[in-house]
Each structure stands twice: as C-alpha cells, then as structure tokens.
C-alpha cells in the first residue's frame, strides 16, 4: 500500500525540538494536518507559528504524555480540530546515560512512563478514532536500543524494547481495524537529545555530532509512513550493529562487554 499523506489528520508527540520539530515540518510539507504535542508550551507555540507561516494546518496542544488528563485532552483537541484522526506518531522520549548498578528506581520508572506507558495509553485513547480514519496508522519512534540493549542505557533500552514488543503485538491485533502499526528504529542522531538526559555519567565516547541530522531522519520517517513499511532501521551505524548482532550475537556481546571493562579499568 502507498499512503497518501495529503490531509491526513495527525497527532505528533515530542514535537517541540530535535527529531520532533524536524518531523513536524516534514509532515506539514507532506500535507498532513498536525496536532503538535510536547511539555514545552513556549517552544510548541513558536513551532506552530512557524508552520502556519508555511501554510500548515496545525494546532499546539501542550501535553505531558505521562499525565492521563493531558493525553485525553490531546486526543479530544485533535479530533475536534480535524474531525477525526488518521495518524498517531509516538515520538516523545527521555533518556538516562548511566549504569544500572548505581541508578535508581525513580529513574527507571520515569523512563518507562515517558517512553512506554505514555505512548501506549495515548494509543489506547486514539484507537477508537483511528478505526474510523483513512489509511490509519500508529507510528512508534523507538531506537536501535530497542533491538539491542546497550550498556549505560539499561532503562532506555528496556523502554524501547517494550515499545517494539507492543508494536508487534498491536500489528496483528489492529489489522482487524485496518490500522497499521509502523516501527521506526533510528541510530544515533544529532538532535540535542543528550541535553535532557536524567543522568549523564555513563562512560563512552558518544559522538552525537557525527550522527544523522534530525531532518534526514524525519524525511526517512515520512517516507516509511508513505510506503507503509512495517519496520524501518535508519542510520548506517544502527544497520551495521543490528545486522552483526543478528548473525554473531555472542561475539557482539563479548565485544561490547570488553569495551565496557576497558572503560572502567582506567
């Protein structure tokens, strides 16, 4: 199936910066009507103004995806403004860069609330509207950490694994509603994501400046939505790692563990 995005009624979470901002722009250029959601109201309203200047049909709905009332208001606002819903793009996320042994339950629960429970409960609210939509789809922006858990990213990896697993379960369940479920698996992106981590004490040379640009990733996501691709791995680093892990899992684990030992032996 080829999905025509013109006029598609869309909710996009995590819209105010980085990947979300680039994705909002790309969706508007593709002709979708977008309910922009994020916690930062000032940035969200500024983005909405910029997109309206481009001719976009958008609304700004300040939303904390971990808040049940906010989630309900977001869905209601989008449906009221656009007369229905065709696309839900779960993009909001938070990271924590540090090792599990000296992390906390609070960090683990926060990451899971933002990256997993928030998106799935938002989807639960959106499904009744998506079933009446046109070429409807749920799009979950995950991570290569959702296919290969990485050291110093334990909570983040677990949350993204959970979202990938839920996506796979939904895919069969939602087929009876004619609602597609698409999973995006990006590698390292120079999106400013590291500026909002809950912890920053992990050890490794993370070169985000050498990663993909948000604009490149956003274009790939919109292309995947158009082509209705079930799962899309984006970025050469992510493709190499996941391919190597598929064929040589024990060697991959050994190499990663050796690197961690070297980092902490200094």
Residue corresponding to tokens 């060697």: 251
For residue 7 the two structure tokens come to 């006029």
Query: Which residue in the list 156, 216, 247, 264 is annotated as catalytic?
Result: 156
65 within 8 A of 118, measured Cβ to Cβ? yes
**Dist. CA 107–CA 192, nearest whole Å:** 20
The residues, ordered by sequence, that sit 6+ positions from 146 with a Cβ below 8 Å of its Cβ are 157, 160, 161, 163, 164, 185
**Dist. CA 73–CA 226, nearest whole Å:** 28
168 within 8 A of 217, measured Cβ to Cβ? no
Q: Give how far the C-alpha of residue 111 lies from the chain's centroid of Cα atoms, to the nearest Å.
A: 13
Active-site residue flag, 247? no
Q: Catalytic site residues?
A: 156
């Amino acid at each position: 199936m080829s999905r025509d995005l013109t006029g598609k009624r869309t909710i996009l979470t995590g819209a105010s910066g980085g990947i979300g901002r680039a994705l909002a722009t790309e969706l508007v250029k593709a002709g979708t009507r977008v309910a922009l959601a994020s916690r930062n109201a000032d940035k969200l309203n500024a983005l909405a103004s910029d997109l309206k200047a481009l001719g976009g049909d958008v609304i700004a709905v300040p939303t904390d995806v971990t808040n049940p009332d906010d989630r309900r208001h977001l869905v209601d606002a989008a449906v009221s403004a656009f007369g229905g819903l065709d696309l839900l793009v779960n993009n909001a996320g938070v990271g924590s860069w540090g090792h599990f042994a000296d992390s906390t339950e609070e960090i683990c629960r926060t990451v899971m609330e933002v990256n997993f429970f928030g998106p799935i409960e938002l989807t639960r609210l959106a499904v009744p509207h998506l079933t009446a939509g046109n070429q409807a789809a749920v799009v979950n922006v995950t991570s290569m950490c959702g296919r290969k858990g990485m050291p110093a990213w334990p909570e983040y990896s677990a949350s993204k694994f959970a979202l990938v697993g839920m996506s796979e379960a939904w895919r069969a369940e939602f087929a009876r509603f004619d609602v597609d479920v698409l999973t995006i698996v990006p590698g390292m992106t120079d999106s400013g994501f590291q500026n909002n981590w809950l912890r920053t004490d992990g050890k490794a040379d993370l070169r985000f400046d050498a990663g993909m640009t948000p604009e490149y990733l956003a274009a790939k996501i919109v292309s995947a939505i158009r082509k209705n691709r079930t799962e899309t791995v984006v970025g050469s680093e992510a493709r190499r790692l996941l391919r190597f892990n598929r064929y040589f899992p024990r060697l991959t684990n050994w190499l990663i563990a050796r690197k961690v030992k070297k980092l902490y032996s200094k």
